[in-house]
Each structure stands twice: as C-alpha cells, then as structure tokens.
C-alpha cells in the first residue's frame, strides 16, 4: 500500500511539473530575469522599450501586449498570438513570426526587414511607414492592411491575400506578388518597378499614377481596375493581362474583348 501511495504522489508531481515550470518561466520573464518564455500567457504585458533581442516567445499569448519601441530583433515569435498588440516603431528585424497571429496589431514605423512572416495572419494591421525590405510574407493573410508609405522593396509576397488593403505611396520595387490577391485595394502613387505580377489578381484595384515599369506581367488580372496615368507600356498590358472595364493609363476604358 505504501508503494502504491508513493507512486501516486510521483505521478501527480510529474504531471504538475510542466505547469510549474511554465509559471516559473513566466515569473522570471516578467521580472526581467529572462528573455525566454515560449508558450507563456503574457496577455496585456507592458514591455515598452524593452530589450528583448533574440528572445524566445514562440507560441506565447501576447494579445494586446505593449512592445512600443521595443527591441525584438532576431526574436522567435513563431506561432505567437499578437492580436491588437502595440508594436509601433518596434525593431523586429530578422524576427521569426511564421504562423503568428497579428490581427489588428499596430506596426506604425516598425522595422521588419528580413523578418519571417510566412503564413502569418496580418488582417487589419496598421503599418503605415513600416519597413519590410526583403521580408518573407509568403502566403500571409493581409486583408484590409494599412501599408501606406511602407518600404517593402524585394519582399516576398507570393500567394499573399491583400484584398482591400491600402498600399498608397508604398515602395514595392522588385516585390514578388506572384499569385497574390490584391483585389479592391488602393495602390495609388506606389512604385512597383520590377515587381513580379504573374498570376496576380488586381481586379477592382486603384493604381492611379503608380510606376509599373519593368513589371513582369503574366495572366495578371486588371478587370475593373484603374490604371489612369500609371507608368506602363500599354502593349505589355494588352499582351499579358486581362483587361475588362479597366481604366487604361491614357484614360480610355477597355472593353470586354481586350
């Protein structure tokens, strides 16, 4: 009987060990003793201007957390929940955010150069003037994202969903938008020079006065789009895109046969 009791107590302790360890890890993180707290519940935590470079917060709950002006360069945030988090002017260069949920997050002026955001949920983010140069956003959901004046040169946005997004005056030079959905979006006064728009859906999108020089077109959909005063060769549009009800650079409206 004594042996059975000892075994039972041992099993209980073994089962509670991961919970206790996580609690200790959380306490150390909050106290500033550690930068690592993977899987921790840190909802609403205030880490404004904190130095969390190369921190491990993979899978953590960071809903409504405040990382304003924080250093998160090289941090591991894979699978983390950052819904409605404040990441304004935060340094996220080289950070890992694959499969992270940043729905509604504030990223005004944030630095995300070379960050990994493949398959991340960025629905409704507020990221005006953010820097995303060479950032991997493959397959990310970015519907209704505000990326006005963002710097995204050479970023990878293959298969991204940017429906209803705002990219006005953004630097989109050499961006790979292949097979992306950018319908009903606003991309006015933007520079897409050298971008890859193969298989890209831009139906209903406003590209007024945007620079589309040297862009790769292949089965690009401009149905009902506005290309008024855009910098692009009309011959390229006619040969490699779908034009139906499209306002062309010269102001003429294409018909369904084009």
- DSSP at 169: T
Q: Is pLDDT above 50 for 17? A: no
Q: Which residues pair with 201 in a beta bridge?
A: 181, 221
Q: Is pLDDT above 50 for 26? A: yes
Q: Encode pLDDT of 116-139 as tens digits.
A: 999 999 999 999 999 999 999 999
pLDDT of residue 221: 97
How is residue 206 written in tokens?
Answer: 């406003």
The share of the chain scoring above pLDDT 90, in percent, equals: 84
pLDDT of residue 194: 97
Q: Is pLDDT above 80 for 9? A: no
pLDDT of residue 11: 46
Contact 212, 192 (CB under 8 A): yes
pLDDT of residue 18: 57
Torsional sign, CA 117, 122, 125, 129: positive
Q: Encode pLDDT of 216-255 as tens digits.
A: 999 999 999 999 999 998 878 888 899 999 999 999 999 7
Contact 171, 191 (CB under 8 A): yes
CA distances (Å), origin 70, targets 48, 49, 99, 169, 171 = 6, 4, 21, 26, 25
Average pLDDT, the chain: 92
Q: Is pLDDT above 70 for 68? A: yes
User: What's the number of CA atoms in the CB half-sphere (13 Å) around residue 92?
Assistant: 33
Distance CA 239, CA 124 (A): 35
Label residue 77 by pLDDT band (50, 70, 90): very high
CA distances (Å), origin 166, targets 90, 94, 160, 180, 237 = 21, 24, 14, 15, 23
């Amino acid at each position: 009987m004594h042996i059975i009791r000892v075994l039972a107590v041992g099993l209980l302790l073994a089962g509670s060990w991961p919970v206790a360890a996580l609690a200790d890890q959380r306490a150390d993180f909050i106290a500033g003793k550690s930068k690592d707290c993977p899987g921790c519940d840190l909802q609403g935590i205030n880490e404004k201007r904190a130095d969390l470079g190369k921190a491990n917060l993979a899978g953590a709950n960071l809903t409504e957390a405040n990382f304003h002006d924080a250093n998160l360069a090289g941090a591991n945030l894979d699978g983390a929940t950052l819904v409605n988090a404040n990441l304004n002017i935060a340094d996220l260069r080289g950070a890992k955010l694959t499969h992270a949920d940043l729905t509604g997050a504030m990223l005004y002026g944030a630095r995300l150069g070379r960050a990994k955001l493949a398959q991340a949920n960025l629905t409704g983010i507020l990221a005006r003037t953010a820097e995303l140069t060479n950032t991997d956003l493959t397959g990310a959901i970015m519907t209704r994202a505000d990326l006005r004046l963002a710097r995204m040169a050479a970023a990878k946005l293959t298969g991204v969903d940017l429906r209803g997004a705002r990219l006005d005056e953004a630097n989109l030079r050499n961006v790979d938008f292949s097979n992306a959905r950018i319908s009903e979006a606003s991309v006015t006064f933007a520079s897409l020079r050298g971008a890859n728009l193969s298989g890209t859906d831009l139906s209903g999108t406003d590209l007024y006065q945007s620079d589309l020089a040297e862009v790769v077109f292949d089965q690009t959909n401009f149905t009902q789009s506005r290309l008024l005063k855009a910098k692009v060769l009309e011959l390229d549009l006619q040969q490699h895109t779908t034009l139906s009800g499209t306002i062309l650079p010269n102001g003429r409206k294409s018909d369904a046969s084009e």
